[in-house]
Structure formats: C-alpha cells, structure tokens
Chain A
Amino acid sequence: MRQNISSELLKMKKSSIRWLVVIAGFGLSFSVALFYIAGPEAYVSMGKNPWVSYIHFSLSLFSMGIFPLFVIVLTSSSILIECQSNSWKSLFSLPIPKWHIMLGKLIAIFFMMLVVCSLFVISTVLIGYIVDCVVREYEFVYYDANISSFLLKVFRLFIVTLGILGVQFLFSVLFRNQLYPLVLGIILCIIGFMMSILELRFTDFFPYSFPMVYEDFGITNTGPEPGHAHFLGWIELMSLICLMGCLVLAYQRFKRLR
C-alpha cells in the first residue's frame, strides 16, 4: 500500500496539481495581505487582538470558497490523470487489488488536502507578521496569534470537507468526462452557500454546506447550532458518514471500471 500511495503522490506532485496546491495554500493569504496593506483603516482596531479578525477573515474566505473548490478540482484531477493517460487498464492489470488502487488515490488526495491546510496556516501567520512590518498600526507582533485554536479550526474544516470529497469522488468515477463532476461540484457549492445563508432546514445534511456552517462566519443571523462549536460535532459526524457512504458506492463503480 505504501508503494501505491508513493506512486499516486509522484503522479500528483509532477502534474498541474502541485500548482493548484501552491495557489490554494498561499494565494488567499497573499490576497488578504493586499487588502490589509491597501486599506488599513478598514481593519485596524486599536486595543484589540488583530489576529482574531485577521484569522477569522482569512478562514471564512478559505472555508467558504477556496478549500471546497480545491477539493472539487483536486478530486477530478486525480481521476483525470488516469483518463487522459488511458491508464485504468494498465493499473487494473497490475498484481494489486482494485481497492488498493482506489485507497492509494484517496490517501494521496487526503495528503494534498492536508498540505494545502498546512500551507494556509503557515502562510496566514507569516503574512500577518509581514503585514505588520509594512503597516505598523496593526501591532500583530504584540499579540498572541493563538495558533493552536487556528489549527483546530482548520482541522475541523478538513474533516467537514471530507463529505464533499466523498461525493466528488463518487461523481468522478461515475462520469467519464471529468467536466461533469467539476461543474456539478461548483453548482452544488453555490447551492450549499445559498442554503447556509438562507438557513434552510436541510443545511446540516447537505455536505456542500458543511464548510460554510461549521464555524460562525457571520453569514447567518443565528450562527451555528451550539453543538457545532465542538470538535467532532454533528457536522463533522455527518461529513464522515457521507464520506464513507459515497466511498462504498464509488468502490462498487470502481470495480467495474475497465
């Protein structure tokens, strides 16, 4: 299995996925830095820990936009690599079980998701300090960034996005043309966003809403349910159930791929 994962990682690392990882991991932090440098009057609040609003702002953009979209594109890309190279038949002719191939791909995707999350945390904190060098009024250096809390939030984001990964993986093995899962994923993300804004009843069951509602990003009037604030709350549990369910269905389809 270690060999499978290493092989999948090599394929991803050398493909355009590496640029996707860099853009998703660093791109947002750089954009936020530009906002902060361009218009400090909008963000400086004297006497308050600047990290709280800065991390909240970065995390809300990352959770509601960048990361779900990254997972959608990453999942389709990992399958597209095999479709473009016409390599399913070669992979399935190897002396390894099909579930090893599927699991190898999934673990490589998990790894890339973790890399992006890590890059996001590192770049956000680093850029906080860099912004402070440019605009002294922020006073980032005088306050605690509370990195452990930030890490926990990002890890929860990772867990709540696994539901999307499950659905997208299922779509990717269902459709030969990887444009369909991509477009479907984006549409479902928009629906998820709308559902969370409108606080519809089924938001807590719709995986594409999970990254928008696992934290209070101020897009709803009421904020998340009390249980949502805890690690491994309802949303995380639903996300994991969704992942498992979709993977079982995806494997049934995967077995029939030629």
Chain B
Amino acid sequence: MEDTIVEIDGLSVGYQSHRLVLHDLSLRVKKNSVFGFLGRNGAGKSTLIKTLMGLLHPQMGSVRLFGQTIKDNRKEVLSRVGSLIDSPSIYGYLTGIENLRIYGKYHRIGENRIKEVLDIVGLEDNADRKAKTYSTGMRQRLGLGMAILHDPEFLILDEPTNGLDPEGRVDFLNTMSRLHNEGKTILISSHLLSEIERIVTHVGILNDKKFLFHGSVNELYQFNQKSRMVRFKVSNPQFGLELLEGIYNVSKESEDGYISVQTENKDDTPEIIKTLTANQIDIYAVIPNKNSLEELFIESVK
C-alpha cells in the first residue's frame, strides 16, 4: 500500500527555459494528510499544481503520483485524482446536475453517485438551477462536486476559497474536513493562510521558486519559535518596563496592564518572572504569544 501520494524530486518548471517559475523543488505528501500549500500571489502555486496534473511539463526533475508518472500511466493516475484548478470549469448554460452529468459521462458515473455528490456539496436543492445563476460559493461547491465525482483518493484544490464570503469559506472548509475524515488526501493551495490553518496537517511555504519550508504544522511552529513574544499581566507595568528595558527587547506598545517582551530562548521567561517579583511587581498572567500560521508565513518569507 502506498504511503506517499506525491513525490516531487528536483523539479524545475518554467514557461521559457530561461525563466523558471519553480527551481529544484522537492516534496512528499503523505497519504491521508491535508497539505496546505502556501505562497504569495505569483509564487508558482498554480504552476506546481498544473505540473502535478500533467498540464505543464517539467524542464527538469520528476513528479510521481501514487508512485507513477502521469506521462506513463495517465489513465490510472488521473482516475485516482480529483482537481479544482483556479476557478471551477462550469458550463453556465447547464444546470448544476447537468454539469455533473457531463463529467459523470467522462468517468462513467451513474445517476446515484451524482445525487450523492450533490448532497455532499450541499447543492441538492439547487441542482436544477442554471449554473450561471449560482453564487460564487455555489460555483465553488459545484466545482468541488466535479472533482470528487469519481471518488478520488487524492484531491488537488487550487485556492478553492477565493471569492467566498466568510460563511461560504466555513462551509467549504467543513466539507474539506469531512472529506479528510473519510480518508482522502488533500493538497490545498492558498494565500489566505488563516483560512486553511484549521484543516491542514502539513504545510509547504513556497517562496522564490522553491519551498522555504515543508513539514507538519507543529514543525513549522518549532521552525519559527527561536524568538517568541511573551506577554506579562503585571501590577505596575510602567516600572516593569523600566526594569526590563536594556536587558530584553521590550515592546513600547504594550497594552494597559501588560508588558510584551521578545524572548530569545526558553530560559528568558523564568528570568523575567524572577526580576519582576524581586522588585515587588505582582504577576497575574504570563501569556506566550503563539503565532498564527499567517504570522509564521509572513515571518518565513521576509
């Protein structure tokens, strides 16, 4: 049984040989993980996804899905993959169910599965409406329906939450979570990191043609925990600030009742507590500021 779904080794892709978008990139995506694939606009996320799907050909390196290349085993590989690349490919003059029927015919899928998918993506009540009348959220959900129609093991979703309102995003991500719980491996790209933070198990940060980081979410936190902001709720913040200034990097923009200190290692926090208590400053709370994925990402690409 394959444990690794995606194996990318030394991949270089460019639209012209002298203008590479991705350079010497390597990646593994494990089975049953949700790989959040992050990068600024233009970082090469869509290029990587198109290469994964065999829509672009690498200049160098190799891409394997399920241990096979698309070039050699197109039918077998692509029948196990579902994708939603850029905006969903929807025939606006057809109804939602007809759109699924079109792709159902390509995959030899019966009417029962089409109805099941409509239910999964929550479009059963709007199945007979023309797709051009759908809202952006409904279009994304229909696109997702097309991607999961043939019950693929691996889903590739390129910025699927783009253009969705907050409620639509939550709905969409809930569906993603459900699919993950059903055993699907998901690769999801985004530049809105705070959104995918709650569903991803692994993260890859793409910057300057290659991965700056890839690993589990915990590894990313550790990767960026060399320095961490710690907040202390104290009885006399002004005096505390004066005491710590010069020894630590203290934020001048500390809130009322709080002192924020940039710690450099794990021993700094107890040292600060000792210093404050030795000077009769009461400490009510010590709050380590766990960076959001968004902050880590911005830190990483700086």
Contacts and interface: CB of A to CB of B under 8 A. Distances in A.
A81 interface: yes
Contacts of B83: 90, 93
Given A7-B102, A258-B50, A85 B107 contact: no
B56 interface: yes
Contacts of A258: 50, 55-56
Among B50, B56, B74, B105, max chain A CB count under 10 A is at B105
A95 B91 CA distance: 20
Interface stretch (B93-101, B180-188, B215-223): B93-101
A177 interface: no
Interface in B81-116: 81, 83, 85-87, 89-94, 98, 101-103, 105-108
A145 to B, nearest CB: 38
B146 interface: yes
Interface string B64-77: 00000000001111
Contact of A95 (B79, B89, B101, B105): B79
B78 interface: yes
B102 A89 contact: no
Interface string A87-123: 1111111111100000000000000000000000000
Contacts of B93: 14-16
Contact of A94 (B50, B76, B107): B107
B53 interface: yes
A89 B85 CA distance: 8
A97 B75 CA distance: 8
B91 A11 contact: yes
A11 B102 CA distance: 7
A4 B94 CA distance: 17
Contacts of A97: 74-75
B106 A94 contact: yes
Kindly state the interface size class of chain B when it binds its partner.
20 to 34
A222 interface: no
Contacts of B92: 84-85
A86 B56 contact: no
Given A3-B105, A10-B102, A89-B50, A96 B86 contact: no
B90 A10 contact: no
A10 B108 CA distance: 14
Main secondary structure of the interface of A (DSSP, over half): helix
Interface in A201-258: 258
A6 B105 CA distance: 7
Given A3-B108, A89-B50, A258-B50, A10 B89 contact: no
Contact of B53 (A6, A15, A16, A93): A93
A78 to B, nearest CB: 12
Among B76, B89, B101, max chain A CB count under 10 A is at B89
Given A85-B91, A87-B89, A89-B85, A96 B53 contact: no
A92 B56 CA distance: 11
Among B79, B102, B107, max chain A CB count under 10 A is at B102
B101 A10 contact: yes
A10 B107 contact: no
Contacts of B98: 10, 14
A90 B146 contact: yes
Contacts of A88: 89
B106 A3 contact: yes
A91 B98 CA distance: 16
B261 to A, nearest CB: 50
Contacts of A87: 89-91
Contact of B105 (A7, A16, A85): A7
A93 B74 CA distance: 9
Interface of B: 50, 53-56, 74-79, 81, 83, 85-87, 89-94, 98, 101-103, 105-108, 146
Report, nearest first, the 9 A-B pairs whose CB atoms are least far apart.
Answer: A87-B89, A95-B78, A90-B89, A7-B105, A95-B79, A95-B75, A3-B105, A85-B91, A93-B53
17 contacts: A3-B106, A7-B103, A7-B106, A10-B102, A14-B91, A84-B92, A85-B90, A86-B87, A88-B89, A89-B50, A89-B55, A89-B86, A90-B146, A93-B83, A95-B74, A95-B107, A258-B50
